[in-house]
Amino acid sequence: MDEEKRPWRILLVDDEEAITVQLASFLERTGFTVTVAHNGEVALRRITDFTPDLIVLDVLMPHLDGRETLRRLRQAGDWTPVILLTQVGLPAERAMALDEGADDYLNKPFEPYELVARIRAVLRRSRRGVPSLAGARHLTCQALVLDRQARRVSLSGREVALTAKAFSVLEYLMLHPDEVLSRERLLDAVWGWDYPAATRAVDTRIAELRRALNDDVEDPQYIETVIGEGYRFVGRVEVGM
C-alpha cells in the first residue's frame, strides 16, 4: 500500500484493560490501525516495530509512567506526536505536559469522539521527523515570536507587554493553529475548571491580544472569531530558532 494512503497507526498506552479494549475497538472502527501497550516500558519497545504516527499515552501507569516515557522519547530525538491522558487536570499538570513535549492532552474521563478529534487535529499539523510545535521553545508566525521558556512575545522585533493569562491563551492558540477552540476549552486549558472564571474571561484576554498585536477583528492575521464556536489561530505557525 502507498505509504501516504495507509491508515494512520495509533499506539494506545494505558494500564486499564477495560479502557484499551473499548478504545482500541472504537479507534479501529474510525479507520485507524491500533496496537496497545500497558505500560511505558512496553510502549518504548513497541514503537520500534510498529512505527506509530501518533501515541495516546496515559500518565499514571506502573513500571514507567506516561510522563517519563514521553521524556525518554524526546531525549532520544523521537518527535512522534503524543496525546497525554491526564488524571488530575490541574493547570500545573497540563503546563508540564506541554513543556515536556506533549502535543495535546485530554482529561479522563473523556468522550471517544473528542479523542478522535484531537488525534486528527494533531496529525494534520504534524510532519514526520520534524520537531512538533509542542517541543519548540520559540513559536513564530510572520513578525510574531513567542518565547515559551522566557514567556516573552515580540512583534517585528519589539517586545509586547501581555498579562500572564493573555500570554498563556496566545501560547495555546499557537500550539493549535487552524483548530477551532471553544471558550470552554480555552478556559479549561488556561484557567482550569477549578478557577472561578466565566467564559467571558476568555473574551477579555482575546481582546487584549488583539490590541497588543494590532490584529484587525474584521481581517485577522492571527486570531479569528468563529461565530457560535470560539476562536482560531489563522496564521501559519512554525518552530522558531
- Asked whether 147 and 239 are in contact (CB, 8 A), the reply is no
pLDDT in tens, 66-122: 989 998 998 888 889 999 988 765 666 666 677 778 888 888 888 999 999 999 988
pLDDT in tens, 135-155: 788 999 999 999 998 999 999
C-alpha to C-alpha distance for 147 and 7, rounded to whole angstroms:
35
Residue type, 13: V
